[in-house]
A and B are shown apart, each in its own frame.
Chain A
Amino acid sequence: MGNDDQSIGSTHIVGATWPLQLYRELKAAQVRQVSYVPDAGHAQLIDLFRADPEVVANVLTSEEEGIAISAGAWLGGMRSVLLLQSSGVGNCINMLALATVSRFPLLMLVTMRGEWAEFNPWQVPMGLATEPALNAIGVRTIRVERPADLLETVASAATLSYEADQQIAVLISQRLIGAKKW
């Protein structure tokens, strides 16, 4: 099956070292479960987790499922992370009440679309709404603009989440990931 979109979409991050570093950082934070709706920006990280026998990986039909799975994992003593694209944040809003009202640790890594050299206008509305929508429902957001800041930011977010019971979304800027190429 030819899937040109996927092969071209992942080309722009080949050679990027941050997904591997991010994987190691999350492993060091004792993350043992990952849930995701795929995004080209998360492709390498998803592959690394899927290949790791110590980690349970769940592919989701919609992003809000990951909020619930993460909550259940915490009830049982497991640390979870949710990987999603900014468009998927809109799917999560009502479900985020579960995390905020229960004070479940929640770590979301959001790859941004619709904000930097975006060619697809359909990505723009949710790109604009991602941060205010998360803040409105009570989730704290931390933006990362430069690769040099990514690991420290995720490590900090992991501590805030798993140790201080916070609901944190790290927003990985489209400029950092690179605009999708066609």
Chain B
Amino acid sequence: VVTPVPPSLDRRAAVAALLEDRGDLLVVTGLGSPSYDVHAAGDSDANYYLWGAMGSAALVGLGLAQARPDHMVLVITGDGEQLMGLGGLATIGVARPGNLAIAVIDNERFGETGMQESHTGYGVDLANVALACGFVAARTIHDMGGVKQARVELHEKASGPRLFVLKTTAENLPRSLPPRDAVHLKNRFRMHLGLPVN
């Protein structure tokens, strides 16, 4: 299966739209450009930016969603990062967290390493993988209307996890760098939730 429509969304505009009026949304970002996109949309103590641990973002989101059923959790990651954690979609599908949504910013490229084509560029369909794993909703989005609809849905609890694939153009944008000190990010996130810092 080849993607019928060439990716056309602007990633920064799409991520900003996902995070509009975010309220008490908790956000985990996958390494590379998704971390820069979320930072560019506005830094927040409720953001946990990953700078490594490729393949972990959705699962950090799962652990967080299970610990905080009182909050909605949004994971914003890239196609390459999610592909490395493909098995995690099965784990999340089984766990069925109704307060977890995953947005894959899919430019069909490994953007940090020279824009090599990823599996999604060769036709792998992450939304269908998620559906097959038991996600209650998953779809591929090609326009800003679809992004805005996803933004509404990710603030509503569901009967299980959701995944949105946002097809974005492949371009190297100016980097917007969040802090790299993971202990700082961890502590400020916990303080945001009123938790003690050890």
B is a partner of A:
yes
Show the binding face of A for B, using Cβ within 8 Å: 32-33, 56, 58-62, 64-65, 67-78, 80, 94-95, 97-98, 101-105, 163-165
Q: Which of B1-9, B34-42, B47-55 contacts A (4 or more CB under 8 A)?
A: B47-55
Q: How far is the CA of A127 from the CA of B91 in the complex (A)?
A: 26
The answer to whether B67 touches A97, judged by C-beta atoms less than 8 angstroms apart, is: no
Chain A residue numbers with a CB within 8 Å of B198 are: 105, 163-165
Chain B residue numbers with a CB within 8 Å of A165 are: 198
Q: How far is the CA of A65 from the CA of B87 in the complex (A)?
A: 8
Known: A61-B88, A98-B56, A164-B198. A76 touches B193 (CB 8 A): yes
The answer to whether B52 touches A72, judged by C-beta atoms less than 8 angstroms apart, is: no
Number of A-B contacts (CB under 8 A): 123
Q: How far is the CA of A160 from the CA of B67 in the complex (A)?
A: 21
Chain B residue numbers with a CB within 8 Å of A80 are: 63
B94 contacts partner chain A, Cβ-Cβ < 8 Å: yes
The answer to whether B67 touches A58, judged by C-beta atoms less than 8 angstroms apart, is: no
Known: A58-B91, A61-B91, A76-B193. A70 touches B63 (CB 8 A): yes
The answer to whether B60 touches A103, judged by C-beta atoms less than 8 angstroms apart, is: no
Chain A residue numbers with a CB within 8 Å of B94 are: 58-59
Chain A residue numbers with a CB within 8 Å of B129 are: none
Show the binding face of B for A, using Cβ within 8 Å: 26, 28, 48, 50, 52-57, 59-68, 71, 85, 87-88, 90-91, 94-95, 182-183, 185-186, 189-190, 193, 195, 198
Main secondary structure of the interface of B (DSSP, over half): helix
Closest CB in chain A relative to B191 CB, distance in Å: 11
The 10 tightest CB contacts between A and B, nearest first, are A72-B63, A76-B67, A61-B87, A68-B59, A78-B67, A68-B56, A102-B182, A72-B64, A98-B53, A69-B63
Q: How far is the CA of A69 from the CA of B28 in the complex (A)?
A: 12
Chain B residue numbers with a CB within 8 Å of A95 are: 53, 55-56
The answer to whether B62 touches A58, judged by C-beta atoms less than 8 angstroms apart, is: yes
Chain B residue numbers with a CB within 8 Å of A164 are: 198
Chain B residue numbers with a CB within 8 Å of A102 are: 182-183, 185-186
Chain A residue numbers with a CB within 8 Å of B85 are: 65, 68
The answer to whether B87 touches A75, judged by C-beta atoms less than 8 angstroms apart, is: no
Q: How far is the CA of A60 from the CA of B93 in the complex (A)?
A: 11
The answer to whether B53 touches A69, judged by C-beta atoms less than 8 angstroms apart, is: no
Q: How far is the CA of A105 from the CA of B55 in the complex (A)?
A: 20
Closest CB in chain B relative to A92 CB, distance in Å: 11
The answer to whether A73 touches B48, judged by C-beta atoms less than 8 angstroms apart, is: no
The answer to whether A76 touches B186, judged by C-beta atoms less than 8 angstroms apart, is: no
Closest CB in chain B relative to A167 CB, distance in Å: 13
Besides the contacts A72-B60, A77-B67, A103-B183, what 4 more A-B pairs have beta carbons closer than 8 Å? Answer: A68-B59, A72-B66, A75-B60, A77-B195
Q: How far is the CA of A80 from the CA of B88 in the complex (A)?
A: 17
Chain A residue numbers with a CB within 8 Å of B56 are: 64, 67-68, 71, 95, 98
Known: A59-B91, A76-B68. A98 touches B52 (CB 8 A): yes
The answer to whether A72 touches B53, judged by C-beta atoms less than 8 angstroms apart, is: no
CB nearest neighbor in B for A78: B67
The answer to whether B64 touches A75, judged by C-beta atoms less than 8 angstroms apart, is: yes
Chain A residue numbers with a CB within 8 Å of B91 are: 58-61, 65, 69
Closest CB in chain B relative to A65 CB, distance in Å: 5
Chain B residue numbers with a CB within 8 Å of A68 are: 53, 55-57, 59-60, 62-63, 85, 88
Q: How far is the CA of A60 from the CA of B86 in the complex (A)?
A: 12
Chain B residue numbers with a CB within 8 Å of A58 are: 62, 66, 91, 94-95
Known: A33-B66, A95-B53. A75 touches B59 (CB 8 A): no
